[in-house]
Amino acid sequence: MAMKAYVLIEAEVGKTSEVIQAVQKVEGVKSADSVAGPYDIVATIEVADLDALAKEA
């Protein structure tokens, strides 16, 4: 069964776009979006199983 994780990311001021582009290149990342609030980016990661999720972290 596929595992999904939501990763909350804080970025330096003015670096959000750069961080999103870098995160989108990571294997397993399905989306990375800019958000308002205490975090700047929410990334969605989807992998085959819990072991694979641990490897991506």
Domain boundaries, the chain: 3-56
| Architecture in CATH of 3-56 | 2-Layer Sandwich (3.30)
Q: Is 53 exposed, middle or buried (0-12, 13-18, 19+ CB in 10 A)?
A: middle
3-state DSSP assignment of residue 42:
strand
Strands 29-34 and 41-47, how do they pair?
antiparallel
What pLDDT does 57 receive?
54
pLDDT, tens digit, for every residue of 3-35? 899 999 999 999 999 999 999 999 889 999 999
What pLDDT does 32 receive?
98
